[in-house]
Chains A and B, each alone.
Chain A
Amino acid sequence: MGKDDFRGDMGGLSDEEMNDFLSGNSLARLAVLKTDGAPYVVPVWYHWDGEALWFVGRERSAWCKHIANDGRTAVVIDSEHSDPDESGQRVEIPKVVMEGQSEVVEEPNVGGQWVDIAEKMSYRYLGPNGPTYLTSTLNQPRWLIKMTPSNIKSWKGVGWAKRYWVEGTGGPSYEEAHGG
């Protein structure tokens, strides 16, 4: 692998690339605030409906209680590469960061709206084992949480976004370092 192709194409994701990437099976890492004000981050399954992220959490999960207490959240969804499309093209190192308020749509319950969302997620994340895993835990109460992003940023490739590059250090310029 050469230096140039290892970096991949750089810049933000197009809308189509972002929606394709978010329909894959990367985990979300969700950051919440603990009651002492410290940030806490946890890997979670998500469902993206095009406008909001949905999370289903176990009754005793600390992160759900933290969200019920303070809805300020941030999430990053990133991967080494996206799933290849029909022509075999894939995006290297896609990364989506969202910040926004999360709300509790359902307190812990059995049989609520969360079941449909959990089923969709179990197929995406577990494939054939999804339904098996889910069926045995459907009687476990879950929270349903919705995060509406107020800010979305995306990146791809491993190069530096130009605004991070400091010129005049005596080292190579941005263009020199990036093979431009």
Chain B
Amino acid sequence: MARNWRGKIGSMEPHRRDLFLAGDSLVRVAAIDDEGRPYVLPLWYHWDGEAFWFVIRERAAIARFMRDRPSIGLVIDEMEIDDPEHGRQFAAPKVFAQGDAELIEAPNVGGSWVGIAEKMAIRYLGEHGPEYIVPTLQQPRWLFKMVPDVLKTWEGVGWSKKYWVESEESPSYEEVHAS
């Protein structure tokens, strides 16, 4: 396997996937709007090892789209993570998931979304995160859960071999990725 500036190339072992998902990367969630067009936004997420959880403001259009048309797609990716102190080093990590969003709580104040929002605030804003979100805790939120039907992972900057088209004029996959 090639190891150079491209990084290790291939899918992630589950422990490595969970290590990546425990960081502060955003998720980009794609849903379908009322006209049937795709719609995409960055959101915070919580990954519990089996499902993604989303806490969304009452008036955010994407929550309504997810309620009305539950099929969603998502990606969590970074160009690079270089945090050796916490054992987190990744080149171009990517996690893709497809599945149905399940409405757990309609917009409410004080529901079980609060505990998830606090966990997310620590991950995304740091140890004082839960203090920062106090002024917005009285704002109603939706709580959604998505258990992936499809979960694909990837790391490394090179091409997956299935994408490589071999031809006589061009270098082979191995030639390009060996150096």
Q: Chain A: residues with CB nearer than 8 A to chain B?
A: 3, 6, 27, 29-34, 37-43, 58-61, 72-76, 78, 95, 97, 99, 125, 129, 133, 136-141, 160, 163-166, 169-172, 176-178
Contact = CB atoms under 8 A, between A and B. Distances in A.
Interface in B72-87: 72-75, 77, 79
Contacts of A60: 162-163, 165
Contacts of A61: 163
A95 B28 CA distance: 12
A74 B170 CA distance: 34
B75 A43 contact: yes
Given A39-B30, A139-B167, A141-B165, A160 B136 contact: yes
Nearest to A60: B163
A133 B5 CA distance: 10
Contact of A32 (B36, B38, B165): B38
A103 B100 CA distance: 28
Given A43-B77, A138-B170, 12 more contacts: A33-B32, A39-B40, A39-B73, A41-B38, A41-B40, A72-B38, A73-B38, A133-B157, A137-B176, A139-B169, A160-B139, A164-B57
Contact of B31 (A6, A39, A58, A76): A39
Given A42-B75, A137-B159, A171 B137 contact: yes
Contacts of A31: 28, 30, 38-40, 73
A41 B42 contact: no
26 contacts: A3-B132, A6-B132, A30-B40, A31-B28, A37-B71, A38-B72, A39-B32, A41-B38, A41-B40, A41-B75, A41-B96, A58-B163, A59-B163, A60-B163, A74-B30, A74-B37, A74-B38, A97-B41, A136-B175, A139-B171, A160-B57, A169-B138, A170-B138, A171-B139, A176-B135, A178-B135
- A interface: dominant SS: mixed
- Size bin of chain B's contact surface: 35 or more
Nearest to A137: B176
Interface of B: 5, 26, 28-32, 36-42, 57-60, 71-75, 77, 79, 94, 96, 98, 109, 125, 132, 135-140, 157, 159, 162-165, 167, 169-171, 175-176
Nearest to B41: A76
A170 to B, nearest CB: 6
B135 A171 contact: yes
Contacts of A97: 40-41
Contacts of B74: 41
